[in-house]
């Protein structure tokens, strides 16, 4: 089975029915979109890592002995809040990735010819692997998109605050009551509270690698469909053409 470095595409012209042609186009877009979301996560990670490097360099400057010029203020540095921006965007991107994947799966179910060419076991594996790493991705997305809802009024506080025991570098304690966490970074771990739960993920190379791994599973699931649909397209458009290209004369 080929290992794709670019998203496999399905040829709409392989099918006589318009609904199957539309499904092929939508699935092709979805397969391509998975890479877009991986790229977006990687860009957010690069920004996050750049800011960490800037912080290290800044601390080295202010810790140099005998500096003559006035020391810069860390709170004046433009990159100070960028890690949080990167972490928020990457958290949303995880959700966008799954929406693209789910769209591929739902569209595939509407087209029997395409479904018959897809490796459904690989699709199931991709779904399981994604949810194993990003268990709370829906709550994560909601907690970022509606961050102010948690403190909008007393009812919302009760709805979204966490009650229970927690052991982390942010907060630790037993029998905590009405704890609200909003967009907090602890190293690479981004954390929120939402609907009474602690939701978090890590903006890291490991998370990026996991998204890439899931993406490749989905792409591999459509390897046969890509080959077959373009073969069917050639047959439909030129029925007299040989099944395989003729060998060049020797």
- As a whole number, mean pLDDT of residues 151-169 equals 85
pLDDT at 2: 41
Looking at the domain assignment, is residue 174 inside a domain? no
Looking at the domain assignment, is residue 80 inside a domain? yes
Looking at the domain assignment, is residue 5 inside a domain? no
Looking at the domain assignment, is residue 169 inside a domain? no
Give the span between the Cα atoms of 191 and 198, in whole angstroms.
7
pLDDT at 164: 82
Looking at the domain assignment, is residue 244 inside a domain? no
In 3-state terms, what secondary structure has residue 117?
A: coil
pLDDT at 4: 47
Looking at the domain assignment, is residue 100 inside a domain? yes
Count structural domains, the chain: 1
For the segment 199-235, what is each residue's pLDDT rounded down to a tens digit? 999 999 999 999 999 999 999 999 999 998 888 888 8
In 3-state terms, what secondary structure has residue 189?
A: strand
pLDDT at 175: 73
Half-sphere exposure of 139 (CA within 13 A, CB side): 19
Average pLDDT score over the chain: 87
Give the span between the Cα atoms of 186 and 173, in whole angstroms.
17
First-to-final CA distance of the chain: 30
For residues 173 and 129, the model is more confident at 129
CB 169 within 8 A of CB 158: no
Full domain range(s) for residue 101: 12-137+204-237
Whether the pLDDT of residue 172 is over 80: the answer is: no
Nearest alpha-carbon partner for 41 in 215, 192, 234: 215
pLDDT at 23: 95
Whether the pLDDT of residue 245 is over 60: the answer is: no
CB 126 within 8 A of CB 162: no
Looking at the domain assignment, is residue 32 inside a domain? yes
Half-sphere exposure of 243 (CA within 13 A, CB side): 1
Report pTM. Answer: 0.86
- Least confident span in 18-27, 31-40, 238-247: 238-247
Contacts 24+ apart (CB under 8 A), 166-170: 166/198
CB 191 within 8 A of CB 184: yes
Looking at the domain assignment, is residue 70 inside a domain? yes
For the segment 45-92, what is each residue's pLDDT rounded down to a tens digit? 999 999 988 887 777 766 666 655 666 666 667 777 899 999 999 999
Burial class for 58, CB neighbours closer than 10 Å (0-12, 13-18, 19+): middle
Whether the pLDDT of residue 240 is over 80: the answer is: no
């Amino acid at each position: 089975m080929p290992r794709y470095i670019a998203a496999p595409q399905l040829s709409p012209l392989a099918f006589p029915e318009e609904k199957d042609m539309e499904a092929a186009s939508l699935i092709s877009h979805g397969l391509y979109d998975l890479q877009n979301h991986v790229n977006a996560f990687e860009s957010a990670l690069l920004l996050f890592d750049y800011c960490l490097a800037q912080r290290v360099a800044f601390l080295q400057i202010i810790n140099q002995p005998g500096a003559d010029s006035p020391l810069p203020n860390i709170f004046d540095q433009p990159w100070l809040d960028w890690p949080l921006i990167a972490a928020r965007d990457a958290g949303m991107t995880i959700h966008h990735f799954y929406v693209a994947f789910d769209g591929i799966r739902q569209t595939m179910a509407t087209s029997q010819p395409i479904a018959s060419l897809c490796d459904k076991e690989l699709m199931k594996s991709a779904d399981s692997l994604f949810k194993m790493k990003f268990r709370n991705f829906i709550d994560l997305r909601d907690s970022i998109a509606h961050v102010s809802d948690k403190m909008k009024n007393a009812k919302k506080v009760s709805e979204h605050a966490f009650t229970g025991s927690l052991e982390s570098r942010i907060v630790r304690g037993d029998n905590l009551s009405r704890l609200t966490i909003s967009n907090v970074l602890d190293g690479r771990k981004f954390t929120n509270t939402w609907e009474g739960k602690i939701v978090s993920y890590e903006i890291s190379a490991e998370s990026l690698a996991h998204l890439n791994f899931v993406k490749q599973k989905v792409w591999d699931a459509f390897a046969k469909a890509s080959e077959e649909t373009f073969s069917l397209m050639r047959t439909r458009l030129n029925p007299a053409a040989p099944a395989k290209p003729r060998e060049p004369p020797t």
